[in-house]
Structures are given as structure tokens and as C-alpha cells.
Amino acid sequence: MTVSPRLANLVSWDSDWAGLRVAVTGIGVSGFAAADTLIELGARVVVVDAATSDTARARADTLKIVGAADVLLGPDAVAHLPRIDGELPELIVTSPGWRPDQALLAAAARAHIPVWGDVELAWRVRVREGRKTADWLAITGTNGKTTTVGLTESMLRAAGLKAIAVGNVGTPILDALRDPVEYDVFAVELSSFQLHWAESVSPVASVCLNVAEDHVDWHGSYDSYLADKAKVYERTQKACIYNAEQVETERMVENADVVEGCRAVAFTTLTPAISMLGVVDGLLVDRAFIEERRDRAAELASMADLGPLAPRHMVANALAAAGLVRAYGVDAKAVRQGILDYVPGDHRIQPVARMNGVLWVNDSKATNPHAASASLSAFSKVVWIAGGLSKGVSYDDLVRDHAARLKAVVLIGTDTSHLREALQRHAPDVPVIEPGAGDTEGVETASAPGGTPAGTPGNGEQVMAWAVASAARLAESGDTVLMAPAAASMDQFSSYAHRGGTFIDAVRELVEGQAQTGEE
């Protein structure tokens, strides 16, 4: 698509944004930040969203107060291109969850109106006269992004740098750019959606942790998903970090158009070769960012520093984060201290309770088969709570690989047919429990305006209470009850965090109930 000279020249905060007609699609966290930023820059902004919730209306009222041209809510608002002072927008800035085939975005493509994501906008306004410009370390992957971005942030801070985790992790990059704190570096978590709409980002170092089939419904195909993930490496300045145990990420680096002099550096959970990070005798080591790398390795940390429950994927995440910060110039001591300082987030292989010899684990963040596989690999005998919004993926490999460790499966979700069929094909002897009539009274699925699935909190809580009670009847001493759904949450819950919190509440109620009856 041909970009107008004016848009091509918008490369800093101090560029000529005044009067630019911009439509922002979405009034969620990233959309609100984009609209607020553009208003501050002097653009003429209209914001559209299918939502009509109290939260959406409150955000709309706030934007109107600070000077947005207009805020349009409801399904009709997203069905066509809006007008700004009677004219079509010159630019669309979209929230990452909006699919390219959504009606308004498709209309923009037909009208040859450029579409940027909030990440692209952030990159273009990052340089501001009189303020320090933060460097970017970019992180993507099907799984492990949030852990790795948190570890990266922690290592950078241990080195004495002003650093913050931003992007898909929760804090919009645009908010961090406008923070009074002048950061040295951003650890930027990027989803495949955000990368799809990014065209000019040039990080100091970048990594794609891993790839597996995910979000096929959004991207249209697995190949398209991989192509968007690969964009994380484009224009990288110093080092492209890739997973030596997954050839797809190596091919991404080989095909990337990078800044001259940029290195390709691999990480592995095995013994590293030259120009790699890996593991030797229980130590995380660096053979990439030292002068003597041909016959030596720099010790970064020990496996024990990662905590008592450090599955293989956690080791990989720590090595990837180390690769990024070592490329940035952080010393080995800060890498170890960053690992020690890091506090893991909730909902990722999170022990919840141990009762009657049964370990209860919340991994609600396992929203796809690849993440669930990493979680299942950490345990030997599992009562598995699984199911949800499948996003068009296959479960055959997941079930085949872990059938031997499954004692029983408790299915949740409004449509478990694909997972059930995979279990029938590859684990026919494993008991599969599903809710019967009356087990989860009132369970149904709602849709948000515009057709996006939305959680129905009461129903989800009933489903989870039933699932936990069912798992408790099946589990015996030595078993692990693992809630790793391998699916998104929005068919019955508002988010993976809501789903995980509901599981934790149900387990705690079970524990308290058994304690009162003297069963514990």
C-alpha cells in the first residue's frame, strides 16, 4: 500500500501530527492509550467500539473530556468507516485483537487507508525532544512471553537500568512513553496480533521463544501466524535470539532483514555450541557474548536459582531473557540477580493446595496445546481439567504425547468436541468426565457486541466448582490435579485470570470443606 508523504514523515513525537484524521478501533486498554496519545499530539480522533458496557462508556466519557472528536459505541459503529468532519480518516490505529477481515478494517484496506497497531504508533512517537529515548528488547512466542519479559525486566533492573515490561504484558507502550520516568529500555512483549500491524519497529535485540499452532482462527492459517511471529526479527540491530530446539525460529532469523552486523544467537536447554546459551552441569551458561567463547563459557546462574519447580520451558525462558540482556550489555552477575529477584506471575503452573497427598495446580494461562504440553510434562500422574475456546487448533499431538500420564480428564468449555475426539483417538482408556444435565445449572455462552465471545461469570464459576468436585473424586494420593485448559477462556470466563481465580476459589472451598469435616 502506498503511504502518503505526510504519514511517512511521522517518525517522532515532534512530527506534524496536528489535524491528522485518525480512527482508533477499540476502546480497551491499548485503544484508549492510542486515542489519548493521538489527542495529545493534536490529531483529530474518532474512536469506535462494538462494546456498550459501563467500562466502555466510562472510557468514552473520559476521552470526550480530554478532546476526542467523537466516540461511537455499539455494533453499528464498527460496521463501516467513520467520518471525521465529513471526511474519511487518513489513518486507522487498531487495537491488536481486531482481525484484518473485520468489516471496518476490510473497508479501510479497500479504500487504501493505512492501518497501524498501537505498537507501530508507539515506535513512531518514541523519540521526543528533551527526553531520553528508550531502547527496545522485543519478545514474542506462542508461550512463555510474559515470563520472559518479566525476567528480562528484572535482569535489566538488577544491572541498574531504568526498565519496564510493556506491550502485551499489560502496560501499554504508549503509557510508558508518556510516563514522567525516562526509561533506559523497554522489555516489549509482542503478540502475533500486534506484530501483524507493526511495520517499522527496530529493536536492539529480539527473540521468538517458540511457535506452535495457535490463533489460526485470527490469522487464517498457521503459515500466516508464523509469518507474523517472524516480524519480531525484522530490522533488529544487534542480536536475533532464537530457539535452537525449534528449527522454525532459526528459519525466521535466516529470512529476516536485519541491520548490518546483527548476530544470530541461539539458546538451548542442552549443552550449547559456540555463539549459544545453554545448560552445562546444572548451570545456565553463555558461549555467545564473551571473547573466549571458542573454549569457555560464562556462568550466568544455576538451575536452583529458578526455584524448586523449574520445568524445561522455564529454563528456556530464562536463557532467552539472558540472551536479550547480554546482547544489550548486561553483565553475568545481573542476570543471576535478576532471576533471583523475579517473582513469577499467577496462573502459570501455580501450586494452589496439597490435600490428602494430591497436588492442585493452576495453569489457566495454558491457553493452547503447546502451553498445556509444557505443563503436563512437569507431572507424572495427572487428573487433567481441560477445555474452552479452541481457536481452531488440533489436540491430536497433545493427547498422543501425554496419554500415558493421564489418569482422567475433566472437560470444561461450551464446545469440547475437538478435544474429546482427540482423547477418543489417542487415549481411549482414559476416563473422560463431562457435565451432565443439571451439573452446571444455567451454563450458557454469551457474545459481546460485534460477535466477540464474552465470559458469563456466574456460569463459569458453576462449571469450575463442578470440575473441581469431579477431579477430587478421581484423584488419589500422589496424583496432580492440573487445570491447564489448552484453550482460551472467553467462552465461559472473562479472561484466563478470571478462569484461574475461579479454580483457586473452588479448590480453597474444597480444602476448607474437607478440613471442617475432618477429612484432610
141 is in an annotated binding site: yes
Grid cell of 471 as nine digits: 477431579
User: CA–CA distance from 103 to each of 34, 106, 198 (Å)?
Assistant: 21, 5, 20
Element (H, E) at 228: helix 222-230
Q: Are strands 283-286 and 276-280 parallel, antiparallel or unpaired?
A: antiparallel
User: CA–CA distance from 198 to each of 174, 322, 478, 514 (Å)?
Assistant: 14, 25, 48, 52
User: CA–CA distance from 268 to each of 265, 315, 317, 371 (Å)?
Assistant: 10, 9, 10, 18
329 is in an annotated binding site: no
Alpha-carbon span 446 to 106, nearest angstrom:
25
451 is in an annotated binding site: no
User: CA–CA distance from 25 to each of 66, 322, 455 (Å)?
Assistant: 18, 36, 21
145 is in an annotated binding site: yes
Grid cell of 355 as nine digits: 490435600
3-state secondary structure of 468: helix
505 phi, psi to nearest 5 deg: -60, -40
Give the start-end residues of each E strand in 221-349.
Answer: 239-243, 263-267, 276-280, 283-286, 298-302
8 Å CB contact between 507 and 475? no
8 Å CB contact between 381 and 479? yes
Q: 150: which residues sit within 8 A by CB, 6+ positions away?
A: 165, 169, 187, 342, 344, 345
Count the residues in the chain. Answer: 520
Tell which residue, 318, 329, 220, has the closest CA to residue 277.
318
55 is in an annotated binding site: no
Task: Name the residue type at position 204.
Answer: V
* Binding positions: 141-147
* Binding positions for ATP: 141-147
